Amino acid sequence: MTSSATPRERLLDAAGELFYRDGVNIGVDALCKAAGVSKKSMYQLFRSKDELIAESLASRGPAYQTLLHPDASDDRPARDRILTVFERQDAVVAEGNFLGCPYVSTAVELKNPEHPGSVVARHFKQQLTDFFHRELVKAGADDPGTLAIQLTMVFDGASARAVVRAQPLAGLGVSTAAALMDAAGVRSGELASQLG
């Protein structure tokens, strides 16, 4: 966080870090102290803590997606692009400071599907499913909708396992996603042409 950051930016940054590390029930006093912003200023910038939860999650979403998704210029086959997500998840977990998928963590902690934070979490989780779906359509999968949901479940399950077991995934998410795609006949272009 730079010294030129606005109070709003400092609050969003502090909230993003603290909510991810300590959970969304952290107190407003601790948030304001970490951001170097008064409670009065916080409530002038955000109508409520609930709004801050949602906006901090939304502000971190694009960076998290960029971390996981292949670049738009990546022209490899769809299967390889999908597996990139799981390979990057594996790498993030292996770094040793992984605390779970921020969207799942927030939604599980809030337990209210109508909470603004849950709505944002659902939006970003849907974007991951939509990415899988687009790639599976390109690959000619028979049922891309169901397979996209299954791949999202593998991703979320791998995230949960990494947190609960407190250990690297060691390729488990990658191999599970690959097995699902194998079972559905989704292969890389080179392999598919050899088999077809």
CA atoms within 13 A on the CB side of 131: 24
Residue 1 predicted with pLDDT over 60 = no
Pair (31, 68) in one structural domain: no
Which range of residues forms the domain containing residue 35?
A: 1-46
Distances from the Cα of 7 to the Cαs of 27, 43, 162, in angstroms?
18, 11, 34
Pair (136, 183) in one structural domain: yes
Pair (68, 38) in one structural domain: no
Pair (34, 85) in one structural domain: no
Distance CA 178, CA 21 (A): 31
Distance CA 98, CA 17 (A): 12
In this prediction, residues 157-181 reach a mean pLDDT of 96
Which pLDDT score is estimated for 4?
81
The CATH number of residue 13's host domain is 1.10.10
pLDDT digits (tens, 9 = 90+) for 16-68: 999 999 999 999 999 999 999 999 999 999 999 999 999 999 999 899 999 99
Structural domain contains residue 106: yes
Distance CA 127, CA 162 (A): 22
Its pTM stands at 0.89
pLDDT digits (tens, 9 = 90+) for 94-142: 998 899 999 999 999 999 999 999 999 999 999 999 999 999 999 999 9
> Could you tell me how many residues make up the chain?
196
Distance CA 78, CA 135 (A): 5
Residue 176 predicted with pLDDT over 60 = yes
Which pLDDT score is estimated for 188?
76
Q: What is the DSSP letter of 171?
A: T
Instruction: Evaluate the CA torsion angle 146, 98, 169, 190 in order and state its sign.
Output: positive
The CATH number of residue 102's host domain is 1.10.357.10
Residue labelled with tokens 């849907």? 126
Which pLDDT score is estimated for 96?
87
Pair (25, 64) in one structural domain: no
